[in-house]
Amino acid sequence: MSLSLFDLKGRRALVTGSGQGIGFALAQGLGLAGASVVLNGRDRGKLDKAAESLRAQGIEVAVAAFDVSDHGAVVEGIAGIERDVGPIDILVNNAGIQRRAPLEDFAVETWHEVIRTNLDSVFYVSQAVARAMIPRGRGKIINIGSLMSDAARYSVAPYTAAKGAVKNLTKGMCTDWARHGLQINAIGPGYFATPLNQALIDNVEFDTWLKKRTPAGRWGRVEELQGVCIFLASPASDFVNGQIIYVDGGVLATL
């Protein structure tokens, strides 16, 4: 198969929550595959630092700092990118947070924070971007789900609810928008060594359990998500739609 199927030259990718961790790695991967990238997050300083790192690798980068959990900010932010930077060909909905507490003690305001950041933002950004993609007749939307799109662990039920909904929202987006030439899919990362998981990495008991539970016997490296993201962003996946691909070292494959 020709490698040109995975070539992203001439395409522009917006990656939300891309100042660090998985989002930064995905933006890097798309950029190294030829795309120009737009970094998004709330911390402009962090985004500028990330952009500097990517530019040093020869990647064309723009920065768009806005809060994806704020609908008004999203509408304004996407319009600004389309107007001032250029058309968005690829969207990666990566922004997310984690909050841990027993469900019976979970604060209502924290529940809404988790749902707003991990689920509502996917709808807000996707809708705003799709409204521009649909008249162009093409576009790739990649939602970042989780193992928790299909499973659960103690103390993260709201996150599990949000990521399960992202999986089904991906199917809903496909059902509505595939007819317009869009492909909407999701990636379900397993346990990766990121700032979001630092508390778990530092927990010796959890670290030991995870390595025994995962057939690959280790935490994932964020760079290991780049290949599947490039695939879903490229012409190679033009008839793949409404799917979630788990990248988890085999966790969901075994009891």
- Angle at CA of residue 219, ends 214 and 222, nearest 5°: 130
Dihedral over Cα of 32, 35, 41, 45: its sign: positive
**pLDDT tier at 3 (50, 70, 90 boundaries)?**
confident
Q: What is the mean pLDDT of residues 123-149?
A: 98
In the predicted model, what is the mean pLDDT of the chain? 97
pLDDT digits (tens, 9 = 90+) for 220-231: 999 999 999 999
pLDDT at 80: 98
Write out the H or E segment, with its range, that includes residue 41.
Answer: strand 36-41
pLDDT digits (tens, 9 = 90+) for 64-117: 999 999 999 999 999 999 999 999 999 999 999 999 999 999 999 999 999 999
Q: Are 35 and 233 in contact (CB under 8 A)?
A: yes
**pTM of the shown model:** 0.97
Count of Cβ atoms closer than 10 Å to residue 65 Cβ: 17
Point out the residues that are catalytic. 159
pLDDT at 197: 87
pLDDT at 1: 54
**pLDDT tier at 177 (50, 70, 90 boundaries)?**
very high
User: From CA 15, how far away is CA 88, in angstroms rounded?
Assistant: 10
SS3 for 216? coil
CATH number corresponding to 3-247: 3.40.50.720
Q: What is the mean pLDDT of residues 36-51?
A: 98
* CA distances for 108 relative to 71, 154, 211, angstroms: 20, 18, 33
Q: What is the mean pLDDT of residues 160-176?
A: 98
Token digits of residue 42:
């709330």
Q: What is the mean pLDDT of residues 27-48?
A: 98
Q: What is the mean pLDDT of residues 128-153?
A: 98
**pLDDT tier at 2 (50, 70, 90 boundaries)?**
confident
Q: Are 160 and 110 in contact (CB under 8 A)?
A: no
Length of the chain: 255
User: From CA 219, how far away is CA 194, in angstroms rounded?
Assistant: 10
